[in-house]
Amino acid sequence: MPLSIPVFVRARGEDGKDFLEFATAVNVSAGGALVVVRRSLPPAARVLLEVPTPPSPALAPRPKSSRVLRARILRVTHAEGYYLMGLKFLRPLVADSRNGITRRRKVASLV
């Protein structure tokens, strides 16, 4: 199902000045995102992706007003007045199930 998720992109432009741009994430996975922006940035540039969270009921635990994800640009594609940025998160959204778990190795066969 195609979804558009509003996000803010913070980065340093090629002119060396910091900027904040309202953008749209059109594809998000545990490892990265595809974001539509109006400004082109060079591949390998680092960005902060801020995902605003909706208001929650008074009884529910209150999350932060936004979630900040650090990412690196892998690719930029120009498309009719905007750019598609392929981002890779510096820390995946879902921890690898193999991390922190010691696996037992089979010492000897019973056969």
User: Residue 40 pairs with which residues in a beta bridge?
Assistant: none
Mean pLDDT (the chain) is: 81
Has residue 76 been placed in a domain?
yes
Residues 111, 103: Cα–Cα separation, whole Å: 22
State yes or no: pLDDT of 106 exceeds 70.
Answer: no
What's residue 41's pLDDT?
87
Has residue 41 been placed in a domain?
yes
What's residue 32's pLDDT?
94
Q: Do 52 and 68 meet the contact criterion of CB atoms below 8 Å apart?
A: no
The count of structural domains within the chain is 1
Has residue 97 been placed in a domain?
no
* CATH assignment at residue 75: 2.40.10.220
43-95 per-position pLDDT tens digit: 889 999 998 877 766 666 655 555 899 999 999 999 889 999 999 999 988 75
DSSP reduced 3-state for 52: strand
Cα–Cα–Cα angle for 16, 25, 27, rounded to 5 degrees: 125
What tokens appear for 30 in the block?
Answer: 């545990």
Residues 19, 45: Cα–Cα separation, whole Å: 13
Q: What's this model's pTM, rounded to 2 decimal places?
A: 0.73
Has residue 100 been placed in a domain?
no
What's residue 13's pLDDT?
78
Has residue 98 been placed in a domain?
no
Has residue 34 been placed in a domain?
yes
Residues 46, 43: Cα–Cα separation, whole Å: 9
1-26 per-position pLDDT tens digit: 678 999 999 998 778 889 899 999 99
